Amino acid sequence: MTAMRSTSRTGTAVALLRAPGSAETWLAVCYVAVGYVAAIPAFVVLLVLTIVSFPFMILALAGVPLLCLAMTVAHGVALMERSRAAMYLGADVPVRAAPHGDGTGFRRFFGRLTARGSWLELVYGVLVLPPIAWFGATITMVCWGGGLAFVLFPAYGWANAAGPGIASWSASYVSSALIHVVGGLALLLAAPWITRAVAVVNVAAARAMLAPSDTERLHQRVDTLQHTRSGMVDAADAERRRIERDLHDGAQQRLVSVAMTLGRAQGRFDDDPETARDLLAEAHDQAKRALADLRDLARGIHPAILTDRGLDAALSALTSACPVPVEVSVDVEPRAPMAIEAVAYFLVAESLTNVAKHSRATQAWIAARRLDDVLVVQVIDDGIGGADTCAGSGLGGLRNRVEAVDGTFVVSSPPGGNTTIYAELPCAS
């Protein structure tokens, strides 16, 4: 038991000595410093907008846009707080989604003004963040700066050696320097823990004010489901129209041609059997083409190779028919659920269609890999860029498909640059 206590004390002493130089300590210092700097402009902007907006309410609600602007800035501050905590501390600070009402204009303003989260974010930016950030930064700077100044006292204290010591004590220069150094070392040893405590308080305050409640999470989930349901309905309707168009322009036309050719052959059997045989051969060729069209259509709905052999084989078969050279990297073991594999397949298929038709690319890259419970799919091309999810390129439908399974869909396509399509698809069952 005595040995265990001795080991514990030794470990505590080592932790105290290592704390000032640890990465966690200096990340916490950076977190506190960035909060101090960011709180100043945030406080000034939010305070000015809020103070000015209320008197203007008297003038035919002219202050409503200013108040909405203040709430928009406050939401940006909340997002900044989430990023700051994640970047420096690895802490998760949930933030409410930006509130919005149905329709446009006043309804959107009204939706933001009546949202509880908007007011809490505004209060946080004006009344909570500034004092916590400034007071915490002051304590941190006093601990580090005061400790460093005390430790360095022998380097400059000799100039006042003839004067009084600490707190007007009548002490010699040696004893005064010793007291300064010991006090400085104590401050420097305590500063890391005080800094981390300040960071913990900052994060706790941010979570208390910015994190959505259970009721808000439920409402947000319902809104998300309504949005994804609407998007999935649109995607299903677009898919139905695509299938109808492919059937009408492809297999249906070929089958009509087969029937007409067989009818011509039937009329020539007695008079011109040689021509009838040629017509039968032509009808046979057209029937085979119709079967190929139907196979392609079925492959577009859900390819059999995807079910039988998985995403790796399906993507390899898909890229082999692409006119643009494609490099494929797939690591999706264990296999994702069938619905997720289908979304990933259609994501790649539609992306390659856009690459072939619109991008003018000379090379494309596809990467699909499973990271724990997430299937990450990425398609990159070296084309002219400028892809837009709202420009009828099919990317809007892909976004709807991905969001319907609670996935994340991002398109980066600057004009003149590479186009990157990135999706994260949850695989948890």
Q: pLDDT tens across 2-31, in order? A: 444 444 555 455 555 566 668 888 899 999
> For residue 296, what pLDDT is reported?
63
Q: In terms of domains, do 292 and 359 share one?
A: no
> For residue 86, what pLDDT is reported?
92
Question: Which run of H or of E encompasses 327?
Answer: strand 326-331
Is 154 contained in some domain? yes
> For residue 41, what pLDDT is reported?
92
Work out the pLDDT band at 321, boundaries 50, 70, 90.
confident
Helix axes 64-89, 106-113, angle to 10 degrees: 60
Q: In terms of domains, do 296 and 379 share one?
A: no
Q: How would you class 346 by CB atoms within 10 Å of its CB: exposed for 0-12, middle for 13-18, buried for 19 or more?
A: buried
Is 321 contained in some domain? yes
Query: Which residues 6+ apart lie within 8 Å of 387 measured at CB?
Result: 354, 358, 359, 393, 395, 411, 413, 419
Q: pLDDT tens across 185-207, in order? A: 888 888 888 999 999 999 999 99
Q: In terms of domains, do 242 and 374 share one?
A: no
Q: pLDDT tens across 98-113, in order? A: 765 554 555 566 667 7
Last-in-domain residue among 212, 234, 268: 212
Choose the most confident range, by mean pLDDT, from 139-143, 180-184, 245-249, 356-360: 139-143
> For residue 181, what pLDDT is reported?
87
Q: In terms of domains, do 279 and 245 share one?
A: yes
Is 269 contained in some domain? yes
DSSP string, 328-385: EEEE-PSPPPHHHHHHHHHHHHHHHHHIIIII--S-EEEEEEEETTEEEEEEEE-S--
β pairing state of 364-371 and 408-412: unpaired
Rounded to the nearest integer, the mean pLDDT of the chain is: 80
Q: In terms of domains, do 199 and 338 share one?
A: no
Is 217 contained in some domain? no
Phi and psi for 377 in degrees, rounded to 5?
Answer: -125, 135
Query: Which residues 6+ apart lie within 8 Å of 231 measured at CB?
Result: 399, 400, 403, 404
Q: pLDDT tens across 237-282, in order? A: 666 776 777 677 667 777 888 788 888 878 777 777 888 788 888 8
Inter-residue contact 122 to 49 (CB < 8 Å):
no
> For residue 227, what pLDDT is reported?
64
Q: In terms of domains, do 258 and 406 share one?
A: no
Work out the pLDDT band at 350, boundaries 50, 70, 90.
confident
> Closest by alpha carbon to 35, among 142, 145, 130, 168?
130
For residue 359, the domain's CATH number is 3.30.565.10
pLDDT, mean of residues 403-420: 86
Choose the most confident range, by mean pLDDT, from 59-73, 94-108, 348-362: 348-362
> For residue 32, what pLDDT is reported?
93
Helix axes 214-246, 273-301, angle to 10 degrees: 170
Q: In terms of domains, do 179 and 254 share one?
A: no
Q: 337: cis peptide before it, omega within 30°?
A: no
Inter-residue contact 63 to 55 (CB < 8 Å):
yes
Q: In terms of domains, do 47 and 124 share one?
A: yes
Inter-residue contact 421 to 401 (CB < 8 Å):
no
> How are strands ordered across the β-sheet holding 408-412?
326-331, 364-371, 374-381, 419-426, 408-412
Is 131 contained in some domain? yes
Model confidence at 360: pLDDT above 50: yes
- Which residue segment(s) compose the domain that 84 sits in? 2-212
pTM of this prediction exceeds 0.95: no
Structural domain count, the chain: 3
Long-range contacts of 147-152 (CB under 8 A, 24+ apart): 147/183, 147/184, 147/185, 147/186, 147/187, 147/188, 147/190, 147/191, 148/184, 148/188, 149/184, 150/180, 150/181, 150/183, 150/184, 150/185, 150/187, 151/180, 151/181, 151/184, 151/185, 151/188, 152/184
